[in-house]
Structure 1
Amino acid sequence: MLHLRAVSPPDRTAEVIELLRGHRGATHLVVIPGAAVEPAGDVIEADVAREAADEIIESLCLLDLDHTGGITLEVIDTALSDAADRAEEDAPGEGADAVVWQELLGRTGDESRLNVTFLTFLVIACLLAAVGVVTDSPVTIVGAMVVGPEFGPLAAIAVGLVLRRWDLVGRATVALAVGFPVAMAITAGASALAESTGLLDVAALAGEHQVDFVFDVGPYSFIVALLAGAAGMLSMTSAKSAALVGVFISVTTVPAAGYAAVAAILGQWEKVGYSTLQLLVNLVGIVLAAATVLLLRRRKQRNAATERPLSRG
């Protein structure tokens, strides 16, 4: 269940109440006239089944509440109520399968922006990857995978493509297009400094190593990226955030970027090329799979909504 709170101009309150009272997926309706100060209006609260939330929010937006008032959603961990049980039973589909699109837009929108925090995490992740390459430490490479923040913008691109939100696609693309070159340049600078002080030499990349999988691009690189992108988007849309950790440690985006930076300083241009290709393969595979998952879930959700009416009566 989700808790919905809306701030409504007084002249719209009756329509909002009628909408929520008539919807099978809404219950626990509370109205507090004149309680809102900024923006001024009435406060209307209700608990809604997750699988009905997207339609309810869309209807409230058609009443212009997102501009003249406000709409917020919160997750309810526990709801002990026969009315809540009925709302969940009457709403089409399963809550775990439902996608609240406005919620997803909000999450991916926040994570798609190029800012200092995003760049800092990406730089740290690339530096960790570089250390893992130099020391031949798979554990450090895994650490770099977990720290890397790149899945947020990749998910935002997928959401933007499916919903045709080109502003979201543009912001996320800029974040990746600027973030990775900056992180790789800083990592290359740190590698050059390490080489000048004797901490790094050409022998570090000579021969076979445990971390060679980072630049070993092939069909399985794309397959893993597809699986990771699908799992990551399922995790985001079903609130299974723990699964994201598995996604982070299954793709070699950041490690490939770090490997390319080290290899460039040591003049290992073939490995630079393979690492860069590995990076691109993973980025494309994740976006493609994530967008496909969203398209399938959107179609399923629409089909479920048409199978039975959501209004009472």
Structure 2
Amino acid sequence: MRYVEVLIPAGSEESVFEVLEEEEIRYVVSESVSDEEYAAAVRFPLPSDAVERVLDRLREVGIGTDASAVVIDAEAIVSEQTDYPRSRSARGAIGGDRISRQELQAKAAGLTPTFPVYATMTLVSAIVATAGLLLDSPAVVVGSMVIAPLIGPALATSVGTVVDDPALQSTGLVYQISGITIAILGAICLASITRLVGLEPAGIDIVAVAELEERVAPNLLALLIALGAGVAGVLSLTRELSEAIVGVMIAAALIPPAAAVGIAVSWGIYGAAVGAMVLVLVNTLSINFAALVTLWAAEYRPANLFAVTTARKQTIAMATLTGLLMVALLVPLVGATLVELEAAQLESDVETDVDAVLADPAFDGVETTAVSVELGDDYPIRSLDQLVIVLSGPEQGPDPALVERLVAAADRHVDEPMTVTVEFVAADHTEIGGEVAAPSHGGT
């Protein structure tokens, strides 16, 4: 429920009362107003999904442009005579219980802090995320998402487009572009300093760190995360759910990938930087696209009927542009996904053949420990680089004949030159056999 208070300019009292009576609203009038420009103040309760209709009707009689209206969230109204006719309530395509357009605009603007605060919080979030990625610490990365104030700008752009609010739209766009830029630059600075003073973990491939690797070679699942964040963000805003939780989800789609861009650039791994940047852009576009579609489906429109056409054109143009850019950027994501699927299928096929070979009584006691495919470093779309077969068994080590049969079995599933490595581990898990490598299809 909402409790609405409207200041009525002198001479407009009858028009306001007529609207309220036509809408069957019980109201209270106060004629003591400090500003002489206003004749009275009227107060009345409304269901949340009826506020937009009533305020629009009052706007038609001149209330709203030269008067102030305050909408208060009422926890409870103890009365059986305050029910507003449900047939008059706004009905969105995604349920009717939504906040009014006026409240939506105010909340979208309220979630966007002043630019100095926004820039500072985004920078701090990016620095924390960069540290978390370098330390391979999921907890620290999650903490960086909580700090980031990204939900406001992400939703302000879409809200401003749908309801034809140019100021809100441009603010959201500027904040989003600035936020991504600040996050990447902050990550580059911290990663460069870390590398310069030698604080990075020694002797490892930096992009092989688990928290970082998944962001420099993203797959199509990243798109689903961003689309879900956009839809959830709008629903949280329009249905009065927790924006904080959804804000973390939006930050999860943007801040760690932006930090990954900075780390990859600092280490000079530009292919990985491209992969992470593609993820940042795809996630940003996906969040905006999902928010636009969800808001339009919920039937949010401008108050002015003449502005509806403009808003529709803007929404279609923005959705089309973001959709086309998403499709263009999906190429590397699709490529990475196909490579991962190919690797998974190869592992499954080879493991089946390895088990068949080991079923031979001549190799009694030898078992398969793992079959894995290692990908190359050609980011962002990696290729199959090496097939590793790990065996365990008696201490005398692997039989050369067994190695040859395993390599031959793997060959049947390999379509391009790839190194097949067979590693042997003793049954007590002490490695004694080392590794035996054999090239497949000419090898490398």
TM range (shorter): 0.7 to 0.9
Aligned to 1:234, the other structure's residue is in SS state helix
Q: What's 1:238 paired with? A: 239
TM-score, length of structure 2 as denominator length? 0.62
Asked if the contact 1:7/1:39 (under 8 Å) is kept, the reply is no
Deviates more, 1:200-209 or 1:46-55: 200-209
* Residues 1:283 and 2:281 aligned together: no
Q: What's 1:129 paired with? A: 129
**Cα distance in structure 1, aligned partners of 2:256 and 2:36:** 47
**Cα distance in structure 2, aligned partners of 1:169 and 1:11:** 35
**Cα distance in structure 2, aligned partners of 1:255 and 1:147:** 12
Q: Deviations over 1:228-249 (max 9, x none)?
A: 111110010000126x514523
Q: What's 1:185 paired with? A: 185
Aligned to 1:252, the other structure's residue is in SS state helix
Asked if the contact 1:113/1:175 (under 8 Å) is kept, the reply is no
Q: What's 2:48 paired with? A: 50
Deviation of 1:88 (Å): 5.9
* Residues 1:77 and 2:78 aligned together: no
Deviates more, 1:93-102 or 1:277-286: 93-102
Question: What letter corresponds to residue 298 of structure 1 in structure 2?
Answer: E
Q: What's 1:157 paired with? A: 157
**Cα distance in structure 2, aligned partners of 1:151 and 1:118:** 11
Deviates more, 1:165-174 or 1:283-292: 165-174
Aligned to 2:241, the other structure's residue is in SS state coil
**Cα distance in structure 2, aligned partners of 1:287 and 1:231:** 12
Deviation of 1:207 (Å): 2.6
Query: Mapping of 1:84-95 within 5 angstroms?
Result: 84=82, 86-87=83-84, 89=86, 91-92=88-89
Query: Mapping of 1:254-273 within 5 angstroms?
Result: 254-273=255-274
**Cα distance in structure 1, aligned partners of 2:246 and 2:104:** 20
**Cα distance in structure 2, aligned partners of 1:114 and 1:266:** 34
Question: What letter corresponds to residue 84 of structure 2 in structure 1?
Answer: A
Q: Which has the higher helix share?
A: 1
**Cα distance in structure 2, aligned partners of 1:83 and 1:172:** 41
Asked if the contact 2:155/2:291 (under 8 Å) is kept, the reply is yes
Aligned to 2:218, the other structure's residue is in SS state coil
Asked if the contact 2:150/2:247 (under 8 Å) is kept, the reply is no
Asked if the contact 1:49/1:88 (under 8 Å) is kept, the reply is no
**Cα distance in structure 1, aligned partners of 2:300 and 2:185:** 42
| Gap change, CA 1:213 and 1:207, over 3 Å in 2 | closer
* Residues 1:62 and 2:60 aligned together: yes
Aligned to 1:226, the other structure's residue is in SS state helix
Deviation of 1:64 (Å): 2.9
Q: What's 2:395 paired with? A: none
Asked if the contact 2:257/2:277 (under 8 Å) is kept, the reply is yes
Q: How many residue pairs get matched?
A: 297
Deviates more, 1:128-137 or 1:87-96: 87-96
Asked if the contact 1:201/1:266 (under 8 Å) is kept, the reply is no
Deviates more, 1:11-20 or 1:127-136: 11-20
More contact order relative to length (CA 8 Å, sep ≥ 6): 1
Deviation of 1:112 (Å): 4.4
**Cα distance in structure 1, aligned partners of 2:13 and 2:295:** 34
Aligned to 1:11, the other structure's residue is in SS state coil
Q: What's 1:30 paired with? A: 28
Asked if the contact 1:157/1:287 (under 8 Å) is kept, the reply is yes
TM-score, length of structure 1 as denominator length? 0.86
Q: What's 1:167 paired with? A: 167
Asked if the contact 2:112/2:153 (under 8 Å) is kept, the reply is yes
Structure 1 residues without counterparts, runs of 5 or longer: 301-313
| Gap change, CA 1:93 and 1:44, over 3 Å in 2 | closer
Query: Mapping of 1:88-127 within 5 angstroms?
Result: 89=86, 91-92=88-89, 97-112=97-112, 115-127=115-127
Q: Deviations over 1:228-276 (max 9, x none)?
A: 111110010000126x514523642111111111221111212211111
**Cα distance in structure 1, aligned partners of 2:200 and 2:209:** 17
Aligned to 1:212, the other structure's residue is in SS state helix
Structure 2 residues without counterparts, runs of 5 or longer: 302-444
| Gap change, CA 1:186 and 1:6, over 3 Å in 2 | same
Aligned to 2:29, the other structure's residue is in SS state strand
Aligned to 1:82, the other structure's residue is in SS state coil
Aligned to 1:185, the other structure's residue is in SS state helix
Aligned to 2:160, the other structure's residue is in SS state helix
Aligned to 1:37, the other structure's residue is in SS state coil
Q: Deviations over 1:44-86 (max 9, x none)?
A: 11111112100111122223322322111010011111012x3
Question: What letter corresponds to residue 267 of structure 2 in structure 1?
Answer: L
Question: What letter corresponds to residue 65 of structure 1 in structure 2?
Answer: I
